[in-house]
Homo-oligomer: A and B are copies of this chain.
Amino acid sequence: VSGLASGIANGQISPEGIVAILGKTEGNGCVNDFTRAFAVSALKAELALHLPDSAVNGIAYVMSGGTEGALSPHLIVLERVDDALATSPALAIGSALTADLPAHLLGTRGQVEMVAIGVKAAMADAGISDPDDVHFVQIKCPLLTAERISLAEQGGLSVATRDTLKSMGLSRGASALGVGVALGEIDIASIDDSDIGRNTACWSSRASTSAGVELLNHEIVVLGMSENWGGALAVDHAVMRDAIDLTGVRGAMDRLGISGGKSSLIALLAKAEPGTSGRLRGARHTMLDDSDISATRHARAFVGGVLAGLVGTSEIFVSGGAEHQGPDGGGPVAIIATRKGAAS
């Protein structure tokens, strides 16, 4: 947290304005990844020096574990400040926290519904009413541990899976469907419990969800463009059709003006996953059959390389496990950049 501390010390960051902190941490990004919770604990300790406890706990901390390959651990601090003179439209940010998710609802329609309501609340917080203005919804969601499963079963409730690693995928998937429902991409009536984690035809183009052992509820951050907001930043999004499809991303970079040098990349957020067919454009991959390294780790490293090779930096937020986030084997990408012509 030394970067955050010095940013606050030199006045670059105003702690009062912080809405959310997104971070890539260097654990395995799977069940026993304690770097996410350690980072949150350290961030809260730092912010507690500047803010009352209620403000510290009101911030959304979305830590995504796993900096495989050359991906770089880093924080994205999202802050909002009152400034009547700022140019509109601009990047708008909103956040919301849901209640704790009971273990037996994880990976079910119940979780989808809980998240959809939360996304609507975060959109309201961002002052965005048209779902088309939303470019990315980042969610941190819970997972099942052996202990949580045991407690639920002692209470006579059954869980969607007893495989703790698999519970991460179900939680990410249900959360992504919740985003799709909130943004009008998916009809809640069409979703069945059995679709979750299985029906790859059903996906959101703007959901990015990440599971972690360090929370029991959902922390939701919405990024979009709004006339109600002003400032130097803009956001756009694209969908990768597979792990090496850069067509859409290049389009978004063109629209933002990055390709033409009229704006600078501030942050890139993307989802990566192995694809259930076991093939990429016909060529067999081995991610799904590897029992030494989790498939999510493989996918982050590889897609991290694909995107870093394009944008020229490894300080990008690539998160693993894209269930219902973009098409099978692909995933959504959001890019935050300086507005064309604006100073960074």
Q: Which residues of A contact B (CB under 8 A)?
A: 26-28, 30-35, 37-38, 41-42, 45, 67-74, 145-147, 150, 162-166, 198, 243-244, 246, 274, 276-278, 280-281, 283-294, 297-299, 301-310, 312-315
Other A-B pairs beyond A26-B32, A306-B306, 20, CB < 8 Å: A37-B38, A41-B41, A45-B45, A70-B283, A70-B287, A72-B280, A146-B276, A147-B284, A163-B166, A166-B166, A244-B305, A244-B312, A244-B313, A281-B312, A283-B313, A283-B315, A293-B293, A301-B301, A301-B305, A305-B305
Copies in the complex: 4
B281 with A314: CB separation less than 8 A: yes
Say whether B73 contacts A31, CB under 8 Å: no
Task: Give the residues in chain B near A309, CB-CB below 8 Å.
Answer: 244, 246, 305-307, 309-310
Q: By the criterion CB–CB under 8 Å, are B71 and A285 in contact?
A: yes
- Selected A-B contacts with CB under 8 Å, 26 pairs: A28-B291, A34-B35, A38-B38, A67-B285, A67-B286, A68-B293, A68-B298, A69-B285, A69-B302, A69-B305, A70-B274, A70-B285, A70-B298, A71-B285, A72-B280, A72-B284, A72-B285, A146-B278, A150-B277, A162-B276, A163-B163, A243-B308, A244-B312, A291-B294, A304-B305, A309-B309
Task: Identify which of B150, B243, B284, B290 contacts A31 (C-beta below 8 A).
Answer: B290
Residue of B nearest to A147 (CB): B278
Contacts of A278 in B (CB 8 A): 146-147, 150
Report A31 CB to chain B, min CB distance, Å.
5
Q: Which residues of chain B come closer than 8 Å to A31, judged between CB atoms?
A: 289-291
Q: How far is the CB of A109 from chain B (nearest CB, A)?
A: 20
Does the CB pair A291–B165 fall under 8 Å? yes
A244 lies within 8 A of B308 (CB):
yes
User: Are A68 and B301 in contact, with the CB atoms below 8 A?
Assistant: yes
- State A294–B309 Cα separation when bound (angstroms): 22
Q: In the complex, which residues of chain B have a beta carbon less than 8 angstroms from the beta carbon of A165?
A: 291
Chain B residues within an 8 Å CB radius of A280: 70, 72, 314
Report chain B residues within 8 Å CB of A71. Answer: 285, 302
